[in-house]
Amino acid sequence: QVQLDASGGGLVQAGGSLRLSCAASGRTFSNYNMGWFRQVPGKEREFVAARSWKSGSTKSADSVKGRFTMSRDNVKDTVYLQMNSLKPEDTAVYYCAAQVSGAWGAVEKTRYAYWGQGTQVTVSS
């Protein structure tokens, strides 16, 4: 029912910043809890951050706390991931996703049914 389009990835120096966008289209009322995940080839897709549609509360993985900030623009039907103080270990394909089960902020991939195509983030040292 929801199509997600992730964009904004690119190449950045360590310590730099990047903002990812995830635009939603299709049958959406902008009422999904949203999350960001990332994946490195050969590794499991891991939770990065999530935001509650209802409250606007956010949570993030320990590895990115204090550096990544998630936000949402319901008018534009877009969620963002502001990434600051980037590290080479942040290099991955980043995916946005819409949660369909469980309480907001779930870290399990199975809680999310709608996924963006992913956008590559590469951080050089």
Q: At a CB cut-off of 8 Å and minimum separation 6, what does 115 contact? A: 4, 95, 96, 97, 98
Cα radius of gyration (the chain)? 13
**What residue type is 46 in one-letter code?**
E
Query: pLDDT confidence of 29, banded at 50, 70, 90?
Result: low
Q: Which two tokens stand for residue 14?
A: 């360590």
Query: pLDDT confidence of 31, banded at 50, 70, 90?
Result: confident
Output the pLDDT for position 27: 67
Q: What does 101-125 look like in DSSP terms, one character per residue?
A: SSSTT---GGGEEEE---EEEEEE-
Query: pLDDT confidence of 75, banded at 50, 70, 90?
Result: confident
pLDDT 10s digits, 36-66: 999 999 999 999 999 998 899 999 999 999 9
Residue 41: which of 105, 118, 125 has the closest Cα? Answer: 118
pLDDT 10s digits, 87-125: 999 999 999 999 998 999 999 999 999 999 999 999 999
